[in-house]
Amino acid sequence: QKEVEQNSGPLSVPEGAIASLNCTYSDRVSQSFFWYRQYSGKSPELIMSIYSNGDKEDGRFTAQLNKASQYVSLLIRDSQPSDSATYLCAVNGNYGQNFVFGPGTRLSVLP
Amino acid sequence: GAVVSQHPSRVICKSGTSVKIECRSLDFQATTMFWYRQFPKQSLMLMATSNEGSKATYEQGVEKDKFLINHASLTLSTLTVTSAHPEDSSFYICSASAPSGVNSPLHFGNGTRLTVT
């Protein structure tokens, strides 16, 4: 069974610090990887996608992928209290419509 | 970007009644849509995969006769919670991906908060 694992947290970081969120996945043939942010009471929203090994930067967010280690991470620089949310890691296999979500990591940015 | 619209955003119904939730892909055609349920402070749980023109595929433990899914067109899927009970109260979220290959992300609707009294 395909699995995606995340530390549930809460992960607490002070405002302005770097938040590091980690995710591991079990299906070695996974092709695409996504990070979603979910505020309490809201639906998830896509913040980053990554498909190739290495880093991908978008503003304050950097996604990192290491397929050999089956590991994907999200770094949030200059964390803000508005970044406080649950971050979901999602992995899609080579079949296209085969998304598997991790349980999410709750991030709390302290002012 | 791909937009998924879900309606209603909130519904309160009495025990024993049925509730229909609509999910529309506004700017793309979705042959497959996904329905999730989320209880407070818990993870997203996939309920079923909705396939246009064919029967939905339900996850283990999800009653197909209770959660009726209809995907009659490439832009609309509906979830009907039949004979709702208080334990069905939850946050229901639909999602779909634009059909541009394995790298297409899932886009979520805004969710429907169902309260059964």
Each residue's pLDDT tens digit, A4-24: 999 988 999 999 999 999 999
On the question of pLDDT at A95 being above 70, the answer is no
Q: Is the pLDDT of residue A97 over 80?
A: no
> Of all helices (H) and strands (E), which one includes residue A43?
none
Which three-class secondary structure state does DSSP give residue B109? coil
Rounded mean pLDDT, A59-76: 97
Whether the pLDDT of residue B49 is over 80: the answer is yes
pLDDT at position A44 is 97
pLDDT at residue A93 is higher than 80: no
Report pLDDT for A29: 85
CB crowding A71-100: b at 16 or more within 10 Å, else e: ebbbbbeebeeebbbbbbbbbbbeebbebb
B110 at A interface, C-beta within 8 A: yes
pLDDT band with cut points at 50, 70 and 90 for residue B31 = confident
Rg, Å, chain B Cα set? 14
By the 8 A CB rule, do A60 and A76 touch? yes
For chain A, percent of residues with pLDDT exceeding 90: 82
Q: Which residue among B6, B103, B108 places its CB closest to the CB of A51?
A: B103
Cα B9-B3-B74 angle, rounded to 5 deg: 95
Q: Establish if B51 touches chain A: CB-CB under 8 angstroms.
A: no
Distance, CA of B39 to CA of B72 (rounded, Å) = 28
Cβ <8 Å between A101 and B91: no
Q: What are A90's strand-pairing partners?
A: A34, A101
Residue B1 has pLDDT above 90, yes or no: no
Q: Which helix (H) or strand (E) holds A10?
A: none
Binary contact (A44, B105; C-beta < 8 A): no
What mean pLDDT, rounded, does chain B reach?
A: 93
Give residues 18 to 77 of A whose Cβ lies within 8 Å of B.
31-32, 34, 36, 41-46, 49, 51
Q: Is B108 in contact with A45 (Cβ distance < 8 A)? A: yes
Nearest Cβ partner for B109 among A43, A90, A95? A43
Whether the per-residue pLDDT at A31 is higher than 80: the answer is yes
